[in-house]
Amino acid sequence: MAIIGGGIGGSTAGCALAQAGLEVSLHEAAPELKEIGAGVALHPNAMRVLRMVGVEDAVRRVAGHSEYSATRNWRTGRVISKISRSEQAATFGLSGATVHRADLLDVIAAALPPGSVTLGTRCTSVRSHEDVAVARLEDGREIEADVIIGADGIHSRVRAELFGPDDPRFTGKICYRSVVPTDAVRGARPSTDNTQWLGPHGTVVLYPLRGEELINVVCHYDDEHYRHESWVNECDRREVLDRYAGWHESLLRIFEAGNTWYKWALYDRDPIPKWTKERVTVLGDAAHPMLPYLGQGACQAIEDGAVLARALSTERDDPVAGLARYERTRRPRASSVVLAARERGLSNHLSSPIAAWRRDLTIALRRRLGKDREGRGAAWIPEYDATAPDVLAS
């Protein structure tokens, strides 16, 4: 099995495939395995898979330390909902974690089979024959494997080779991000809660990394004019402070302490109707890029790896049948999460005070009347078990 792309999704798939007794090779275009970006939220559905591949404890050792996940009002700080890690564990069987992307990838990559990773190998094309799949590399070499898995991200070459270029839709939303040293924040020490602040036209997400050493900051805002999608464009801190003027003072103190800020536009992509052609498939952002409002991008890629390994090991003598079962199992769920993330972005950014009050009241009622402790109607996402023996669709 040859995996194109050595990010979180591709590396997790490599670990799961190897654990299932399948030979795996991973090919990464960069000269080293590394992640751009900052923090990543790992919900219980992802942690189940990391437990299965044997890295849960190592991930928790490098994770941020937070006792609660909370949702708050943008201006007053009023708590809209709050759940403890122990409540989450009681509800879903285990708690989530927040981790620096680089730390997470280091842990997963260390669990890959020795000698299975090849760096500096960019894929330019893929094709499938009756009994073999072939990936052509930029230097002219070719890789042959029973199956080729495109885990090469949102701008996937493998996906484009299979189905043509996609047509992203600008959402009218942008993101700012920074990683702030906790000790650099003036005044009272910031809360270590994993907190989402909901306001008119925007959402701010904060959570700790590396114990309580760092604060991961992601700020969303409605903006019809900025349309650049890259994660690595820097912006001035003053822009962030001006944009969120009037938001809670504890947020502004954190923003002031961020020396480096990045800004990018959020583009949406409709779920694609097919992931697989013969012996080639895709996973993670290559299969189902999604908006970040549910914190499920990496989690869904991690689920993909577990289900792919289960499907290919179950259909060991027929990889094409295995890929078909993988797609039948994963595509409906991942597509539902894509659409749910789109809806959450609308719900989070309500500009009408009356509409926001109704949303907050609905959250409170859900929390009081049912097992949905977060109150957002999305408990079906973290309760999913991609490692279950009966996870595969027939």
3-class DSSP assignment, residue 69: strand
- 262 as an active site residue: the answer is no
**What b/e sequence results for 66-94 when a residue is b if at least 16 CB atoms lie within 10 Å of its CB, and e otherwise?**
bebbbbbbbeebeebbbbbbeebeebbeb
SS3 content of the chain, % helix, strand, coil (to 5): 35, 25, 40
**Which residue among the candidates 207, 221, 244, 262 is catalytic per the annotation?**
207
Phi, psi (rounded to 5 degrees) for 185: -80, 125
Residue pointed to by tokens 């792919």: 308
Nearest to 178 by CA among 200, 207, 198: 207
CB 185 within 8 A of CB 40: no
Phi, psi (rounded to 5 degrees) for 227: -130, 20
- Sign of the C-alpha dihedral computed for residues 136, 106, 380 and 191 taken in this order: negative
Catalytic residues: 207
